[in-house]
Amino acid sequence: MINSDYNHEMKFQPRLDNQLWSQFNSAVEREDYCRCWLTLQCSILQNVIQGLVILSGENQSSFAPVVKWPEEGGSPERLTEISERVIEEKCGMLVELDHGSKIPQGIARSYGVAYPILAGEGFYGLVALEVKAGTEEELKYTMEQLQWGISWMELMLRREREHEAVGIIKRLNASVDLLADAISRKNYTSACLSFVTELATYLSCDRVSLGYIRNKKIKLQAVSHSSRVSENMNLVRAVIKAMDEAASQQKDIFYPVSIHERQIIRDHEALSKEHGSAFILSIPFYDENRYVNIITLERSRGHYFTDDEAMYCKSIGSLILPVLKLMHEKEMPLPLKISAGAGGGLKKVLGAHHTGRKLFTLLIVFLIIFFSVKEWDYRLSATTHLEGAVKRVIVAPFEGYIKDAYVRAGDQLEKGEKLCVMDDRELRLERLNWISKSAQYAKQYQEAQAKRERAEAEIIKAQLDQAKAKLELTESQIERALLVSPFKGMVISGDLSQRLGGAAVKGEILFEVAPLDEYRIILDVDERRIADVVPGQKGYMILSALPSEKIPFIIDKITPVATAKEGLNFFRVEATPSMITERLRPGMDGIGKINIDRRRLISIWTRSMREWFIIKFWQYRP
C-alpha cells in the first residue's frame, strides 16, 4: 500500500547538468541522442533506479534495447515483463515490481513505469524505468515527467522521418532529371556518357564509370567527362578490374574499407594508388537474377562515400539503367538481336532453374519427333453440294395462262402426279374450228372427184390434210395442258400458287423435278490440291443438316475448268454417294474429305507453309 500521509512538498529538486544538455542538443546519431536523453530524464527524476530505451528495427516488427541507464550494473531484466506488455498493448503502464514481498509500511517500493513512443500512427518503441516511490504523489510526478519527456523522443523520430523524406525527394528529382536528359540523347553511347557525367556532378565525384557485364566479361561503356573509352588505357584496365572485384563479391565495395568489415579490395587499392583516387565506391546492379551493370565512383579528395550516397546512386541507377538497356537493344543490328534472343532462350532452357520451361521444351521436342515419324491418313477437305443425278425441267408447252397449280418446291411426287394445268379453252375452240374445216374440205374433195376435176381435187385434198394436221396439233396441245411428273421425285424449284391466271410464255421453266433415289455430289477442290485427286478415290461427306451421319462417296469425274470463288480458284469434282438414305434432299451443303494416301503428320500439317515458301522463293529468285 502507498502511504497516503504525505507531505505535498517534494523532498528533492532536479539536478541539471549544463554539459549534458549541450551534448543532448548537439547529438546527431540516434544512439547518442537516446543516451543523453535517458541520462537527463533519470537526472531529473532522482528516484530512478534504472532505465531502458527500446526501439524498433527497420520493419517495426522487432524491438531491441538501444541504451540503458546506468551504463554499468543494474538489472534490466526486471523491466522485461512491463516492456513486453507495452509492446503488445501500445499504452502506458505502471506495475509494482516488489509485489508479494514483505516491505514495512512507509518504506519506498520499486515500481516499473513504461510509456510507448508514438509518432503519427506508428509505434516505434518505449521507455521503461524502475523507480522508488513511497507515496502516490511521487509516482504521479514521475509519470508526468516521463510523459512530457517522451515528446523529445517523438521529436527525434519525426526529424528522422523528415530527413528520410527529404532524401527520397532529392533522389527522385535527380533521377527524373537524369532520365529526361538520357532519353533526349540521340543514341545509346551519348546517353551513357550524359548519365555518368551528370551523376559525377550530383555526387561531387572526380570520375564515374559505367560497366556492362556480358558473358561474364566486363566492358567499360562510358567514363564521365570523357567521350572516348580505349581498352588499352591503364586507367580503363584498372577500373575494369575494380568492377570485376565488386561483381565477384556481389556486393557494394567502399574504399577505404571499415576496420569492422571484411572485404577483398586489392584491385580497388591498386586503382587508388595508381590514379590518385582517395575514395572509391563500386555498386553492381542486377536484372533478371544476374548482374548486368556496375558503376564505380571515385573521389581524389573530400570525404568518404556514405550509405546515403550509395542508396542515392542505387535509386538513380535502378531507374535509368533499364532505359539505357532498351536503347542499346533498339540500336542492335537484327542478326545480333536474333542471336541475343536465341541465346537468352537457350540459357533459360539449358541453364539452372526454369524447370517448367525445360519440361515444356522436352514436350515440344517429343511432339516434333512423334509427328515426324507417325503416319496418318491424308484426307483432302472440300466444300460439297448435293444435287440430283438427273434434273428434269418442266416448261410451258404453249403460250397461255395458268389455270391451276397442284404442287410447289419441296413437295414429293409420284410418277404421273399432276403438277399444274394450263387454260385450254381457246385450244378447244380452235379444235372445233379445225374439225369444222376438215369436214368442209372433205365434202369439197368428194364433189371435185365427182366432177372429175382432178386439179381442183388435189388442191382441196392438200387443204384437207393441212386442216387434219392443225387438228392433231391442237388436240396434242390440249393433252399437254395438263403437266404431270415424269418420275417419282421431288420438286426442287417452282411455285405457281401466286401466278394463277397469269400468262406463261412457251418454253418458260415452271418446275424442276429431281429423283430421290439418285444423287451426285459436287466438290469444290482448291486448285492447289487438284493434282491429288483422281477418279476412283473414296471419301466421306458430312452435311450441315445431318452432322451425325457420314455418307461415303466415290470420285467419278474431274471437270477441267476452274471457277473463281472468294478470290480463289476451284475445280468442280463430281462424286457418286455409295449410300442413300431417305433423309437426303437435293441442295444440301456440307464438307467432304477425300482419302488420298498415308503421309507423315508433320508433312500434312506443314504442306501449305512449305509450298508457300517454294512459290515465294521461285517468285523472287533472280
Q: Which of 118-132, 392-406, 603-617 has the lowest mean pLDDT?
A: 118-132
pLDDT at 424 over 80: yes
Looking at residue 282, what is its pLDDT?
Answer: 92
Question: Residue 140's CB: how many other CB atoms inside 10 A?
Answer: 12
Give how far the C-alpha of residue 468 lies from the chain's centroid of Cα atoms, to the nearest Å. 90
pLDDT at 537 over 70: yes
Residue found by looking up cell 389455270 in the block = 403
pLDDT band at 1 (very low <50, low <70, confident <90, very high): very low
Q: Which pairing describes strands 418-422 and 290-299: parallel, antiparallel, or unpaired?
A: unpaired
Cα(525)–Cα(575) distance, integer angstroms: 12
pLDDT at 577 over 60: yes
Say if residue 216 is exposed, middle or buried (CB neighbours under 10 Å; 0-12, 13-18, 19+).
exposed
User: CA distances (Å), 171 to each of 56, 58, 174, 308, 475, in order?
Assistant: 26, 20, 5, 10, 113
Higher pLDDT, 602 or 98: 602
Give me 168's grid cell: 527520397
Cα(126)–Cα(115) distance, integer angstroms: 6
Give how far the C-alpha of residue 146 lies from the chain's centroid of Cα atoms, to the nearest Å. 59
Q: What structural domains does the chain harbor? A: 18-164 (3.30.450.40), 185-331 (3.30.450.40), 392-512 (2.40.50.100), 518-620 (2.40.30.170)
- Number of helices (H) and strands (E), helices first, in the chain? 13, 24
Residues 473-503 pLDDT 10s: 888 888 888 899 988 888 888 888 888 888 8
Looking at residue 335, what is its pLDDT?
Answer: 78
Cα(295)–Cα(285) distance, integer angstroms: 8
Cα(280)–Cα(295) distance, integer angstroms: 11
pLDDT band at 292 (very low <50, low <70, confident <90, very high): confident
Cα(435)–Cα(475) distance, integer angstroms: 11
Residues 6+ away with beta carbon under 8 Å from 489: 388, 392, 412, 413, 513, 514, 515, 516
pLDDT band at 49 (very low <50, low <70, confident <90, very high): confident
Residue found by looking up cell 413437295 in the block = 411
Looking at residue 521, what is its pLDDT?
Answer: 92
Looking at residue 46, what is its pLDDT?
Answer: 77
Alpha helices in 400-493 (DSSP H): 425-450, 454-480
Looking at residue 522, what is its pLDDT?
Answer: 92
Higher pLDDT, 350 or 617: 617
Looking at residue 230, what is its pLDDT?
Answer: 64
Q: What angle do the packed helices 136-183 and 30-44 form, to 10 degrees? A: 160
pLDDT at 188 over 60: yes
What does the chain come to in residues? 622
Q: Which of 25-29, 35-39, 282-286 has the lowest mean pLDDT?
A: 25-29
Residues 2-35 pLDDT 10s: 343 333 334 444 455 677 777 777 777 888 888 8
Mean pLDDT of 312-317: 85
Residues 6+ away with beta carbon under 8 Å from 522: 384, 385, 386, 387, 572, 573, 574, 575
Mean pLDDT of the chain: 84
Mean pLDDT of 150-161: 84
DSSP three-state, residue 125: strand
- The answer to whether the beta carbons of residues 66 and 31 sit under 8 Å apart is yes
Looking at residue 259, what is its pLDDT?
Answer: 56
Give me 522's grid cell: 459436287
pLDDT at 149 over 60: yes
Looking at residue 147, what is its pLDDT?
Answer: 83
Mean pLDDT of 105-121: 78
- The answer to whether the beta carbons of residues 555 and 537 sit under 8 Å apart is yes
Residue found by looking up cell 409420284 in the block = 414
pLDDT band at 316 (very low <50, low <70, confident <90, very high): confident
Residues 367-391 pLDDT 10s: 889 888 889 899 999 999 998 888 8
Looking at residue 101, what is its pLDDT?
Answer: 56
Cα(401)–Cα(405) distance, integer angstroms: 11
Mean pLDDT of 233-262: 83
Please tell me the pTM assigned to this model. Answer: 0.48
Give how far the C-alpha of residue 295 lies from the chain's centroid of Cα atoms, to the nearest Å. 35
Query: Looking at residue 597, what DSSP letter applies?
Result: E
User: CA distances (Å), 353 to each of 348, 356, 359, in order?
Assistant: 8, 9, 11
Looking at residue 379, what is its pLDDT?
Answer: 92
pLDDT at 552 over 90: yes
Cα(515)–Cα(490) distance, integer angstroms: 6
Looking at residue 60, what is its pLDDT?
Answer: 65
Looking at residue 541, what is its pLDDT?
Answer: 94
Cα(540)–Cα(526) distance, integer angstroms: 17
Q: What angle do the packed helices 334-350 and 355-373 form, to 10 degrees? A: 100
* Burial letters 576-606, b for 16+ CB under 10 A, else e: bbeeeeeebbbebebebbbebeeeebbebee
Q: ω into residue 76 within 30 of 0, thus cis?
A: no
At 341, which amino acid appears? G
Higher pLDDT, 571 or 32: 571
At 469, which amino acid appears? A
Cα(406)–Cα(616) distance, integer angstroms: 60
Mean pLDDT of 605-622: 88
Looking at residue 11, what is its pLDDT?
Answer: 43
Percent of the chain with pLDDT over 90: 13
Query: Looking at residue 415, what DSSP letter applies?
Result: T
